[in-house]
Amino acid sequence: MNARDIMLGRLRAAAPKASAGCGELDRRIDDHFNARRAARSASELAQSLQAAMTASHAEVWQASRSAWPALLAQQLGAHGVRRLLLDTAGAEGAALAQALPPEIQAWPFAHPLEAWKSELFNSIDAGFTVARSGIAATGTLVLAPDAGTPRTVSLVPPLHVALVYANTLHADLHAAAQAERWRDGMPTNLVLVSGPSKTSDIQQTLAYGAHGPRRMWVIIVTDDVTE
């Protein structure tokens, strides 16, 4: 046993043990939310997510697995997007890149931010991300940024385009944390997004795009819906 093992052993021995009281509290919290939550189909969750995000000024479509790339490519072209930031190493990014018309360039996040900051902030029209899951009650997407799709992709371009699968939707935040077992290991950067970036001043004037994208599009892929 080396010094590192000895030190870690002492830290583990000194760590507080979970008490029966914590377990009882967890059970009561679970019972509270489970009793309030009606059983809902995946398609109902998709409808709720769409309604809530639309109310927060996002534009939301539902599409099948085979149809969404063409739908999104058509919308991007129609709205003048010419440079789209996306991870072509992922299945969804590759499918969208293949569907893009010639006038839209697909840009991977292939360089350190410092090497192309000016280009990124001044010439990229939109960023594409794939959500880990969604929360229907609040119209929220759960993003888990990684090396191919860092937080910058959903934060810097003026348009954030997100894809979420209907079979990953949860009724509420408690259901998401419970089903995905967040207690077993939270990522270092989990992002919850419910619409375009917005802020308001002391006069309650609401402004969009002050700290992030002015617009947000969401594609809900419904093929894998399980009733």
Q: Can you state the angle between helices 91-99 and 68-78, rounded to 10 degrees?
A: 50
Report pLDDT digits (tens) over 88-116: 999 999 999 999 999 999 999 888 888 88
- Which pLDDT belongs to residue 101? 96
Q: Is the pLDDT of residue 192 over 90?
A: yes
CB 208 within 8 A of CB 151: no
Report residue 131's pLDDT band, with 50, 70 and 90 as the boundaries: very high
Report residue 16's pLDDT band, with 50, 70 and 90 as the boundaries: low
Q: Is the pLDDT of residue 219 over 70?
A: yes
Give me the chain's average pLDDT, please. 90
What is the share, in percent, of the chain residues with pLDDT greater than 70? 96
Q: Is the pLDDT of residue 9 over 50?
A: yes
Rg of the chain on CA atoms, in Å: 21
Report residue 142's pLDDT band, with 50, 70 and 90 as the boundaries: very high
Lowest mean pLDDT across 110-114, 132-136, 200-204, 216-220: 200-204
CB 84 within 8 A of CB 128: yes
**Token pair 């410092």 in the structure block, residue:** 114
How far is the C-alpha of 128 from the C-alpha of 123, rounded, in Å?
15
Q: Is the pLDDT of residue 176 over 80?
A: yes
